[in-house]
């Protein structure tokens, strides 16, 4: 029976997947940023134009997409800090693996604090 | 990008390496500031009060009548767009094999960045929270008090 390759320190592990996630979330945030600068620029046109476009941000579909955006930002921001610690902190490389799980933990905690409140606003639940 | 290997004994050329180094440093420096700016932005706009439901022209007008939020948003605009564009440049350089395509994409990216930074900056500085002729109920409350 051929056995699984032993792998490396990087490939298929936390180092690689955090890198993949960082890229994917980065691209997603970049394209949102392009749209967001344009929609905000509508305040210069007229109150009606801005309110019409920002109204779509309050619809259920886009409201749910905003949860994805916030999740992407939380991961990208905290993993970015992890990258900085790996680069500049003496023990950064040693603790990169545990720091990844700390990033996931803090991101999940912040997301769980945000999501119910946001869903409450989007779906007019009146919970909070 | 094609890799150019210099003659081993030629003097070390620092120019390109330094540009990449400054890009590398910029991503980290702007990243730290952006964590604060964007977390604050999300907290105030999406978490406090009525969250996304409360955001309209009057909300923006209220925020941008305060120089604090003007500077906050201006910094966010510049730092985030340049950070994002430089990140996309990294992806373009990684995933394109033809230098011509990479160059075209990178020029397009920086052109979009320049346009949006200019547009956003103009909007922040020329914004009028109480435009003449607009319906009073769409404007911040301080407009009618004048």
pLDDT of A63 higher than 90: yes
Which range is least confidently modeled, A43-57, A87-101, B15-29, B90-104?
Answer: B15-29
H or E stretch covering B37: helix B15-42
Cα separation, A98 vs A14, in Å, equals 9
B64: phi > 0 → left, psi -120 to 50 → alpha, else beta; which?
alpha
Domain boundaries of chain A, sorted by first residue: 39-122
Cα separation, A15 vs A100, in Å, equals 8
Interchain contact B111–A (C-beta under 8 A):
no
Contact A33, B112 (CB under 8 A): no
**% of residues, chain A, pLDDT over 70:** 97
Cα separation, A55 vs A115, in Å, equals 19
Cα separation, B35 vs A81, in Å, equals 9
How far does B120 lie from chain A, in Å, by closest CA? 6
Cα separation, A24 vs A27, in Å, equals 5
Q: What is the ipTM score, two decimals?
A: 0.91
- Residue A7 has what pLDDT? 66
Of A44, A47, A66, the CB nearest to B126: A44
The band of A128, judged by pLDDT with boundaries at 50, 70 and 90, is: confident
Given an 8 Å threshold on Cβ–Cβ distance, is A23 in contact with B91? Answer: yes
Q: Nearest CA to A99 among A24, A18, A26?
A: A18
The band of A79, judged by pLDDT with boundaries at 50, 70 and 90, is: very high
Domain boundaries of chain B, sorted by first residue: 15-143
Cβ count near B51 (within 10 Å): 22
Cβ count near B16 (within 10 Å): 9
The band of A101, judged by pLDDT with boundaries at 50, 70 and 90, is: very high
Structure tokens at B115: 């346009």
- Minimum Cα–Cα distance from B77: chain A residue: A37
Q: What is the pLDDT of residues A27-41, one digit of tens each?
A: 999 999 999 999 999
Q: From first to last of its 146 residues, what are the pLDDT tens digits of chain B?
A: 677 777 888 777 666 668 899 999 999 999 999 999 999 999 999 999 899 999 999 999 999 999 999 999 999 999 999 999 999 999 999 999 999 999 999 999 999 999 999 999 999 999 999 988 888 889 998 887 55
Which range is least confidently modeled, A15-19, A73-77, A101-105, B15-19?
Answer: B15-19
Structure tokens at B66: 């305060």
Q: Return the CATH number of the domain spanning residue range B15-143.
A: 1.20.1300.10
Contact A70, A25 (CB under 8 A): no
């Amino acid at each position: 029976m051929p056995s699984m390759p032993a792998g490396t320190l990087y490939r298929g592990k936390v180092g690689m997947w955090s890198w993949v996630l960082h890229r994917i979330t980065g691209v997603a945030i970049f394209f949102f940023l392009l749209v967001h600068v344009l929609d905000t620029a509508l305040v210069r046109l007229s109150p009606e134009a801005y309110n019409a476009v920002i109204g779509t941000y309050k619809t259920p579909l886009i409201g749910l997409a905003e949860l994805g955006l916030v999740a992407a930002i939380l991961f990208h921001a905290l993993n970015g800090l992890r990258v900085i610690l790996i680069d500049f902190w003496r023990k950064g490389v040693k603790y990169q693996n545990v720091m990844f799980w700390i990033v996931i933990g803090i991101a999940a905690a912040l997301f769980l604090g945000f999501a119910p409140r946001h869903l409450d606003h989007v779906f007019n639940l009146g919970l909070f | 990008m094609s890799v150019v290997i210099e003659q081993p004994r030629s003097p070390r050329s620092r120019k390109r390496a330094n540009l990449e180094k400054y890009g590398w440093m910029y991503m980290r420096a702007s990243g730290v500031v952006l964590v604060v700016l964007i977390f604050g932005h999300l907290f105030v706009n999406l978490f406090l009060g009525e969250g996304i439901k409360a955001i309209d022209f009057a909300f923006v007008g209220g925020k941008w009548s305060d120089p604090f939020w003007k500077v906050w948003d201006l910094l966010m605009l510049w730092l985030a767009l340049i950070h994002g564009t430089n990140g996309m440049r990294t992806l373009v350089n990684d995933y394109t094999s033809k230098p011509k395509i990479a160059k075209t994409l990178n020029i397009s990216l920086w052109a979009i960045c320049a346009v949006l930074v200019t547009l956003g900056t103009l909007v922040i500085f020329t914004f009028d929270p109480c435009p003449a002729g607009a319906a009073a109920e769409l404007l911040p409350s301080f407009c009618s008090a004048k």
